[in-house]
Amino acid sequence: MKKLKYIILVCLAIAISACEDNLDTFPTDQAGGAELFSDVDKAMSTINGLYRAMYVTEWGTGWEHEQFGHISIVHSGNLMAEDMVQAEMGSGWFYYDYMYQVKSDFTNTQGRPYSSWNFYYTLITNVNSILASKDELQGAPSKINSLMGQAFALRAFSYFYLARFYQQSIAVGGGDLPGVPIYTEPTTIETKGVGRGTLNDVYKLINADIDSALVRLDPDKAQERVHISNLDYYSANGLKARIMLEQERWQEAYDAATEALKGGSSMLPAGDISGGFAFNDASKNCVLWGFEVLDDQVAGAGRAMLFGHMDSRSSDYYASRARVCVSNWLYDQVDVTDVRKNWWYGPLAEEDEQATGTEKSYNQFKFQFANVATGAGDYIFMRHEEMMLMQAEAKCMLEQYAEARTILENLMKERQDGYDISGLTDSKALTTNSDNGPTTPASGSITLMDEIMLQRRIELWGEISRIYDIKRLGTGFTRNFDGSNHSELIPYINPLDPLCPDWVMSIPQAEFDGNDALDATADQNPW
């Protein structure tokens, strides 16, 4: 690679901005780098800057209002599936993800292929500079362990999402599929590019990194977490649980999720949901990892924030004229006594629907601004309930059905009155139904695994990318179910194919242009 284009400038004041095309690295070959990485307190500013990078914008050369870091990529992964509906095109933001019309943007440095690649590799190259200083860094051992543990966890996180976004799931496609280029050393303008290798290569690094993170973040070795945005031992275990689930390493997924729950978090109470909790407060006890967004940190006056694309209450934001809704099929699966039913409208009478604003059938209210005037609202990246659902799935896959039932019942005590799963069949198989697509039957869950996955889809709607579950489970999906409220049925692709090539993002042309180890014909993802 003649020149890496994915580096961020991080200054001691933790000011951070995303890279413009061709911006060189901040790293060890630039004045100030050696000084910054000589002292743990100074180096900590770098990791804090990277956390803020998780929600700043301008990861491409334009279209910044749909490129606000990791949360925008999560949102695009939800819109690619069947449980989330974008009812109108509006200004066009994210609608092309929903239509499956972004993969062809691979030559455009404004588009999704480039901006997502740029984002994760920016994190990686900065983290590599931190990790390279581990033997020379001065300061309290507990602080050094905390810094290095977070750096290893962030590198695992970045490669994990690169692997899932730019390739099929390792669980379905196999580990011999092409991976993504791996860099573990600080990069400079002299750094040579590397090839794709395999998914097995990528996951070998991911697994090693997350384990290295956990050794260093052990509460007996690392300083106590300073802020909810910092990965700690418990949230890093939550990340490990996600990684293990993707690889179908069920016992390790269960163990990691269990360890994540030992940090003192608790479920979001039913009273908070019925009281209108809008998933914009990272201080809640259910949050394992989140980002506090202050009024003066809002990107794009709130238009380059998730809530600007979700909260339709104000005409100042895109969501008012491009409403995000739940699929009417999923809404119908939520019991009338389930407190989560309040996250969405039900069907409205035709005369009550409006062209803009909240009055739209199945409109969502789960995600709202904390402050509409400023566009502020916190991001929740990981919470207690996800760990419980991963525990339940892992136990079911291990055929330890009694334990899986107990976990699910404990979750649902705070969600639905009279919840009863005694009639479900103990099975790790997902039931498919040709009339409704490869999803839980319209008549309701039949197997215990049906129910676990259904509750995962309801509970975590909008929080994790649904498309990744579809890919790892190999189920495919359909939007063309009876009475579908989807505005785009995507007839030009085949989402019933467990290895649908449209689920795999194209590698940006800019990478081929700058990396001599890659060939644009041989190494591009299939169409």
Q: What is the pLDDT of residues 351-394, one digit of tens each?
A: 999 999 999 999 999 999 999 999 999 999 999 999 999 999 99
pLDDT at 140: 95
3-state secondary structure 383-442: EHHHHHHHHHHHHHHCCCHHHHHHHHHHHHCCCECCCCCCCCECCCCCCCECCCECCCCC
Instruction: Give the pLDDT band of residue 437 (cuts 50, 70, 90).
Output: low
**What's the pLDDT at 398?**
98
Q: Tell the residue number behind the tokens 């990744």, with chain if given.
A: 468
The larger pLDDT score, comparing residue 22 to residue 84, is at 84
The pLDDT of residue 23 is above 60: no
CB atoms within 10 A of CB 482: 9
The region that residue 28 occupies, defined by phi over 0 for left and psi between -120 and 50 for alpha, beta otherwise, is alpha
Instruction: State the Cα angle at 209 between 399 and 280, rounded to 5°.
Output: 75
Q: Which of 41-45, 82-86, 149-153, 263-267 has the lowest mean pLDDT?
A: 41-45
- Average pLDDT over the chain, rounded to an integer: 91
Q: Which parts of 49-149 are beta strand (E)?
A: 84-86
At 2 the pLDDT is: 33
**Helical (H) or strand (E) element with 119:** helix 112-131
Percent of the chain having pLDDT more than 90? 85
Residue in the block written with tokens 């081929």: 512
- CA 216 to CA 223: how far, in whole Å? 10
What are the CA-CA distances from residue 452 to residues 162, 409, 424, 440 (Å)? 27, 10, 11, 10
Residue type, 236: A
Residue (of 162, 386, 389) closest to 279 by Cα position:
386
Work out the burial of residue 480: count CB atoms within 10 Å of its CB; fewer than 13 is exposed, 13-18 middle, 19 or more buried: middle
- Other beta carbons within 10 Å of 282: 21
| Distance between CA atoms of residues 105 and 165, nearest Å | 15
Token pair recorded at residue 435: 């009339």
Q: How confident is the model over 162-167, as a mean pLDDT?
A: 98
pLDDT at 17 over 90: no
pLDDT in tens, 248-298: 999 999 999 999 999 999 999 999 999 999 999 999 999 999 999 988 888
Which band of pLDDT confidence, cut at 50, 70 and 90, is reported for residue 486?
Answer: very high
Query: 62: helix, coil or strand?
Result: coil
Name, in order, each residue with C-beta under 8 angstroms of 101's C-beta and a sequence gap of 6 or more: none
478 or 440: which carries more pLDDT confidence? 478
Q: What is the pLDDT of residues 182-213, one digit of tens each?
A: 999 988 878 899 999 999 999 999 999 999 99
Helix, strand, or coil here: 463? coil
100: left (phi over 0), alpha (psi -120 to 50) or beta: left
